[in-house]
Amino acid sequence: MLDIKTLRADPQACAKLLAVKGFQFDVDYFLELENQRRVLQQESEHLQNERNQKSKTIGQAKARGEDIAPLVAEVGDLGDRLDQAKERFNVLQDELQSFLQAIPNTPDASVPEGTDEDDNQEIRRWGNLPAFNFEPKDHVALTEGGSMDFEAAAKISGSRYVVLHGQLARLQRALTQFMLDTHINEHGYQEVYVPYIVNADSLYGTGQLPKFAQDQFRIEGEQETYLIPTAEVPVTNLYRDSIVAVEELPIKHVCHSPCFRSEAGAHGRDTRGMIRQHQFEKVEMVQLVQPEQSWQSFDELTHHAENILKTLELPFRTVVLCGGDLGFSARRMQARYRDPATNKPVSSDLRLIISATNNREVNRFVYDAAIQAGVLVNCVDQPDLCTFIFPAIVDRSPILIAISSMGNAPTLARVVRGWIEAQLSPNLGKLAELAQSLRDRVKLELPSVDARKSFWETLFRSAAAESAMQGNLQDAKTKAEAMLAESATGETGGIPQASVALIGAGPGDPELITLKALRLIQSADVILYDKLANPAILDYARRDAEFEFVGKQGPKPGSPPTRPDNRGNQQFSINDRIVEHARAGRNVVRLKGGDPFIYGRGGEEMEQVIEAGFDVIMVPGITAALGAASYAGIPLTYRNLSQSVRFVTGHRVENVINLDWPEMGRRDQTLVIYMGLVGLPTILAKLIEHGCEPERPAALVENATWPEQRVIVGTVATLADAAHEAQISGPSVVIIGDVVAKRKA
């Protein structure tokens, strides 16, 4: 796999790289073989040259009529010595070739060190692993006695084979077709069909021989042939010993084939199921590109594979394999792979050079030439050979943020960029445009530097800023000009330019909060929150922000219907506190569990804030019903089962459960009951009394989306008793309808 010139040029450097893979390259033995090769080659060349000269002498002596017998004998002796030298040279060449064929490909210099898969480095992940409230079964247990038959395969073939029946066989065929069609129609590959039997040269060409001879299935016969271990072997060897014109590149092939591996080195490992099989199916992608396009091609191959998993909605991790986990032929897996660039001098009119090769000598030459010419240079993944670094960029033009690890961890810089991207509004640039339009006027009307600084800080956290980032620049400018006028005149009697945001905190999981809500929380001076808002959300706030708990305690099962502290009075007090903070010029966030406008009394708070003369920013949240249904795996609508959803409250109003019972019992809808735990027995009894079938499926979700979420499933007739037996006491949502039966237990 290695170019012999690379080994000869710097065997010590190659040994160091190979050690990353855990391979000990015997430099002394290699140098000894190389020395013997040079000696024998020089001897053969010398004997060949001497023989040629003597042969010419024989012709000349014969022309002069001289006795040529001594010369003929001498030439014959030279021929024997030459044959012997060639024989020794060929034997040595075979020994050298065997030695070289056992050397794996050198890893890229950026491959992390490590011994096995535990040392691999994760660079990104997609999707979330499903959470189960039961012990999941593996594929063997799920298909036992059914569509996956290992016993039948063992009877007809032996161990490490499987027979697929029915829908599972059909699924395998469908997945194969899906992958082929996706790569052909969406990714631009050309399908090829190849033989499943290849000769030894093909396996040598892709590195399977001689290192992994024991893992191959060799076919007995006159020719040395093998079953293919992967379609990569025949597809790659289509171009072996060929010269491909640049105009034909890139060449992109996709191929489906069965793969055959003896797994001789896997004795005792993964014996259960179909993890290590002698025969399995695979769809292979192969690209032939110019060396300078190899990194782009590798990225493309990776993303094409990821796209398959995303389309199938299968969570996955993309990792950089460490040296010890790399394959024999791999230079780097899911990492940069570059071929050496040509050694050309630096042009005098260049101002910036990027060297993206994996040959340190080439990079060093480029670096030294660039320094001599006074040109900026970046040798990728080699910080010591860089005079500048490419940062990761967050672009909110004209706001730009650059993140750099100074070449130490480029992937980390990209990850940090993602974190920052999530924090910043896509329309942040609009706010910069607003500031630019006011700069001259602010400088004119506020001569003091401190006054200007205070104004800008207040503006960027005001309702005017929110309008700008919503794209309403005219409204933003009107509000900003009003703020400037007050700052310039020093008036204090007007309404301060505070902002009030009513934010839905979602049902519990802090990651369900919206990006807009997150941004407003981070700019808040004071946050009023209730007990249904996860306190973890407060960690997003500024350190100097003030937190005020305004939670209301509702009745619990068994508690009296009336309470000394009337909850209506509690709500009036909350409304007053919001207005008081706004009048003090603070940016106020009212953080409410679920969604403010669904049984959250957000409408009452909004009315009082507007009446006090303040604008209100409304940020919806995922309501408890949606969160509970989603996390419990219950679809709220389902074709032919439920065409509508009805949200109702089971809360006591004037000590009576006042629901429209005839409408509640309709079969073609899903009924979602908020705050129904206290009156649950009465509610369910009333539903049955008004025509709802007792056996209709029903579920109760306690602490929806929280880690301690519990789901109780039953029927309208049994749910109340089941909830009582489970001692349900936390915030709960009740879902009634045939859709509950679609939940996978």
- What are the catalytic residues? 530, 552, 675
Q: Tell me how far apart the alpha carbons of residues 259 and 318 are, in angstroms, rounded to a whole number.
A: 24
Q: What are the strands of the beta sheet with 644-649, ordered from one edge?
A: 644-649, 669-674, 732-736, 697-702, 710-715
CB proximity list for 477: less than 8 A, separation 6 or greater: 434, 437, 438, 464
Classify 557 as helix, strand or coil: coil
The runs of H, that is alpha helices, within 584-729 are 602-611, 624-632, 661-664, 680-689, 719-725
Q: Give me the amino acid identity at 160.
A: R
Q: Which of 605, 635, 651 is nearest to 697 (CA)?
A: 635
Given a contact cutoff of 8 angstroms between Cβ atoms, the answer to whether 192 and 198 are in contact is: no
- Helical residues (DSSP H) of 547-643, grouped into ranges: 567-583, 602-611, 624-632
Cβ proximity of 706 and 733 under 8 Å? no
Query: Strand, coil or helix: what is 79?
Result: helix
Distance CA 335, CA 530 (A): 48
Whether omega before 136 lies within 30 degrees of 0, making that bond cis, reads no
Asked if residue 393 lies in contact with residue 142, where contact means CB atoms within 8 angstroms, the answer is no
Give SS3 for 672: strand
501: left (phi over 0), alpha (psi -120 to 50) or beta: beta
Question: Beta strand pairing status for 352-355 and 376-379?
Answer: parallel
Among 692, 703, 689, 634, which residue's Cα sits nearest to residue 666? Answer: 692
Residue 634 near residue 699 (C-beta atoms within 8 A): yes
SS3 content of the chain, % helix, strand, coil (to 5): 45, 15, 40
Is the link from the previous residue into 210 a cis peptide, with omega within 30 of 0? yes
CB burial readout 337-356, b (16+ within 10 A) else e: bbbebeeeebeeeeeebebb
Work out the angle between the directed axes of helices 294-311 and 166-185 (0-180°, nearest 10): 140
Contact 675, 651 (CB under 8 A): yes
Alpha carbons 286 and 293: distance in angstroms, whole number: 14
Q: Is 77 helix (H, G, I), strand (E, B) or coil?
A: helix
Q: Strands 352-355, 148-149: parallel, antiparallel or unpaired by DSSP?
A: unpaired
Could you write out the DSSP letters of every residue in 406-458?
TTS-HHHHHHHHHHHHHHS-TTHHHHHHHHHHHHHHHHHH--SHHHHHHHHHH
Three-state SS sequence of 172-232: HHHHHHHHHHHHHHCCCCEECCCCCEEEHHHHHHCCCCCCCHHHCEEECCCCCEEECCCCH
Residue in the structure block whose two tokens are 């808040």:
524
